[in-house]
Amino acid sequence: MSTAELTVKPLSRETWDDFETVMGANGGARGCWCMHWRLSMQEWMEGKGAGNKAAMRKLAARKTPPGVVGYLDDDPIAWCGFGDRSDFPRMQRSALLKPVDDEPVISLTCLLIKKGHRGEGRSAQLIAAVCDYLGETCETGTIEAYPVEPVEGRRAGPDNAMTGIASAFLAAGFTEVARPRTDRPVMRYSLR
């Protein structure tokens, strides 16, 4: 593993090409472009690929970024999508990910480490860098995440690991606040 520090920059028009580099030709998993939680299932399916990419590009042009690109030196190697919980309609309708209380949170919804940098412990570094970034730029005092906790002896696949792995969040200082299913903890980090 490289000892270089992972840094983040908000997704914007200026960092769009770096985001594309991280997401790869498939836009992450199956043409998602990190729109999974932001659209209805029908909208997401209809937009797979180019439509979802265009939708994310519009979000990247807004003042409030939909996430950050992670860098080792100047090399873009990671992505983390986030936003106010209300930015994610599919999450709002999910029985599994329904709010655990009324506390306002910034939801971390997607983590992606570029191939070639996986298995190096970069997820916890990315999460810590995102928390630092949100601590400087966000008024909400709590970050919430919805990782998976793989069954012992099994690896989580890309379709269910898109929200991150619980051990990386623990390593970054998150604590579990709920567990709606055996393999799905809800975890929080206080910025204040």
What CATH number is attached to the domain comprising 156? Answer: 3.40.630.30
| Predicted TM-score of the model (pTM) | 0.92
Residue 1 falls inside a structural domain: no
Q: Which residues pair with 70 in a beta bridge?
A: 8, 78
Residue 51 falls inside a structural domain: yes
Distance CA 84, CA 50 (A): 25
Tokens 């937009």 found at:
47
- Which residues constitute the domain of residue 25? 6-190
Residue 27 falls inside a structural domain: yes
Residue 135 falls inside a structural domain: yes
Residue 138 falls inside a structural domain: yes
Distance CA 187, CA 46 (A): 31
Residue 107 falls inside a structural domain: yes
Number of structural domains the chain divides into: 1
pLDDT in tens, the chain (192 residues): 445 789 999 999 999 999 999 999 999 888 999 999 999 999 999 999 999 999 999 999 999 999 999 999 999 999 999 999 999 999 888 888 889 999 999 999 999 999 888 888 899 999 999 999 999 999 889 999 999 997 665 665 555 578 999 999 999 999 999 999 999 999 999 998
Report whether 107 contacts 81 (CB < 8 A). Answer: no
H helix or E strand, kind and range, residue 21 = helix 16-23
Report whether 39 contacts 88 (CB < 8 A). Answer: no
Residue 26 falls inside a structural domain: yes
